[in-house]
Amino acid sequence: MPSVQDPVQTPQSPRVHGDEEEEGSDDIESEFASSIAGRSNIVHPYRVSVAESSINSWDIDSVSITNSGASVHFYEEHVGTPTNHHALVVHPNTGEIMRYNPLQTRPINPNRDLALYGYGSVAWKNRVEWKTKQQNKMQKVSSDGEGSDLNDFDSDCDIPRCAESKQQLSRKVPIPSSKINPYRIVISLRLAILGLFFHYRILNPVHDAHWLWLTSVICEIWFAFSWILDQFPKWHPIQRETYLDRLSLRYEKEGKPPELARIDVFVSTVDPMKEPPLIIANTVLSILAVDYPVDKVCCYVSDDGAAMLTFEALTETCLFARKWVPFCKKHKIEPRAPEWYFAQKIDYLREKVHPEFVRERRAMKREYEEFKVRINTVVANSCKVPEGGWSLPEGAPWHGNNVRDHAGMVQVITGNDCVMDDAGNKLPWLVYVSREKRPGHDHHKKAGALNALLRTSAILSNAPFVLNVDCDHYMNNSKALREAMCFLMDPVLGEKICYVQFPQRFDGIDQHDRYSNHNVVFFDINMKGLDGIQGPIYVGTGCVFRRHALYGYDAPTATKPPSKTCNCWPKSCCLCCGSKRKCSKAKKKQEHQKKVKCRNASKQVHALEVAGRETAPPVPREKFEKRFGQSDAFLASTLQDNGEGCHFDMLKSLDDCIHVLSCGYENKTQWGKEVGWIYGSVTEDILTGFKMHCHGWRSVYCMPKRPAFKGSAPINLTDRLHQVLRWALGSVEIFLSKHCPIWYGYRCGLKPLERLSYINCVIYPWTSIPLLIYCALPAFCLLSGKFMVPEQLPAS
């Protein structure tokens, strides 16, 4: 029989967070013991658990001694109760085993949740085991959804989870009618008033000032037309809701590797003096620490300035990422860009009061301050350029010493198995890319750099989806990629989606937003309206693309049942065709059109017709080369299903990457015309999205509660005006090109209201001309003494 010592009655005090732990075991048991022993009629905290059957005093070897745990039992001897219903307890002084009758049982704190006490009490051990068993069975979801007997409880636990895993990953949330109907009523009233206004203006000309009247009417018609173009796409706005838990149930099954699709992230930068390396480092760190499987993410940084400073900054970023990434994933912090995380003016101890988190956060903040010092040192050293230019540590000259004349560069910084973080886990791929530049070649600015990244990533990782962000847009929501996958990987609606656009949000904007950087009307109203038609416009950053859509393929089309022909009706009732001769001509015309489409099959390839490629006739290699260029590795990647296949020879792949990065690779190909980001305008984003919609694709606007990306906005009037001027010049270039939505893309998959929105995007700069004239008309009226409206006759 084990010996039991008397409890020591010492005053106890609650623990304080941050206290250092004592040597030995935890003193929770002694706390319970002292609180129990402090009572006069309380027995020893150790009791013997017995069944209701009779137990003799010499059967003590079969009795288990357990800790009373969270409940305090009061015992006193009772003569009238049978001895077989008494409990055996150990006397605190003599150590003798006595029988006591429990009068009542109550918890120490009745309001406390049982789960706070942990696991280990015999009183509710079976219940916890049953709950754990039930949760384990709920997590076992069969991939085929097969269920056993419905009367079995275990099968009933599997049915709801299995059904939830096969539901859609997102849904449309229409705007409440109480909000949208008043807006529609106001727009209808304005249209009616506008019609009455023009009825009056046109039917009441001013004969003595005809030129003033005609000019004012033309300007007013232009204003009305631009207003109508802006209002109609807003007629049916929608919101969307995603289900991240269903995404995990479907593609992240327990005991199996995750089946989420791979994503290549493109970060583009040009000048490290205008785009500080510390900002680029924060963007890269937020991508490397994203809440997504590590082997499914690859980050590509395009340095179009071939700056040694950017390369050195990325190297330092990789070293700091080994500490930052495990810290973010362990404590699940947001955002995962250290500059903005440590700058938050919030109580970071509100939900994370564990002393370990406090210590690690302080240590990580010190590490980040040292990282900033190293980055600033690199920036300071870069200002002193040596006479012979920069060189690598092994002595080889840096290829980017001449910014306008250098060879292509590809450097895989992380991605090898030898590069691990401090927790022993792999880091996502981080690849530095700088395309070749030679004098006399048009490099097409940002669009050309992104196309170079598209080809390079196809050889190295070939992910089916591509995320494009600017270097100053960090990932504010670590689950942003999962939000996009809820649309792109949806088995019902995902096949027709070419890209998922996130709204732009900015940091460092003053309270009054004097330069209108938030652009609430466009991002919170117009884009929702476009999402209800065919999808939002691509705005240049924060967008997840489908790679096959970037290759210029058409969207998948559903097979429609054959329409009714003249054979369905009697000849006397046939009104659609006049005679058999007309029908034969129509058939010949249709056959001719089919032959023309077959000849241009390279432009009409189905993006997702993977199953039919085995039976379909092979496309000649010459057509592929005219479309994608002469690279065997890249051509092979375009034929892989869903971006499969990353097994390659690293040295050979790097040679292939240098080949596709050459400045003459795009010559006599469809790059920039039908493939990749489209050339011809400084606003390549509008043109690229427009071409995709013309191919029949649709896009999706995703607005999670926590903004997915945040960037830096212009903080002075000069930068803001320069930005607005760039957008206006890009719209004018599209208006004067062959891709103008006024006359391009008819008889394709572009919807009429979506076309109106694109027309509004390219004609809004021209509104400045009638606006300037209309503002000058009152001055002409005062100078000439004539008016552009008829004078009212005095009432007789």
Binding site listing for Mn(2+)? 446, 470
Binding site feature residues: 268, 274-275, 304, 445-446, 470
Q: Can you tell me the distance from the alpha carbon of 535 to that of 701, in angstroms, rounded to the nearest whole number?
A: 7
Burial class (CB in 10 A: 0-12, 13-18, 19+), 687: buried
Task: Name the residue with tokens 């886990």.
Answer: 425
Catalytic, 685? Answer yes
| Helix residue ranges per DSSP H, 108-152 | 125-139
Q: How many helices (H) and strands (E) does the chain have?
A: 23, 18
Cis peptide before 428 (omega within 30 of 0): no
Q: Is 628 helix (H, G, I), strand (E, B) or coil?
A: helix
Proportion of the chain in helix, strand, coil states, percent, rounded to 5 = 45, 15, 40
What is the 3 state secondary structure string of 602-621?
A: HHCCECCCCHHHCCCCCCCH
Is 304 one of the catalytic residues? yes
| 233 prior amide bond cis, ω within 30 | no
Helix, coil or strand: residue 434:
strand
Instruction: Tally Cβ neighbours within 10 Å of residue 613.
Output: 14
Pick the catalytic residue: 158, 264, 304, 554? Answer: 304
Cβ contacts of 18-22, under 8 Å, gap ≥ 24: 18/355, 18/358
Q: Give the whole-angstrom CA distance, residue 656 versus residue 654.
A: 5
Is the separation of the CB atoms in 781 and 260 below 8 Å?
Answer: no
Question: What is the SS3 assignment for 789?
Answer: coil
Of 354, 335, 653, the closest CA to residue 507 belongs to 335
Residues at the annotated binding site for UDP-alpha-D-glucose? 268, 274-275, 304, 445
Nearest to 679 by CA among 624, 609, 734: 734
Backbone angles phi, psi at 756, to 5 degrees: -60, -40
Q: Hey, is 716 helix, strand or coil?
A: coil
In contact, 445 and 257? CB cutoff 8 Å: no
3-state secondary structure of 209: coil
Tell me the catalytic residues: 304, 685
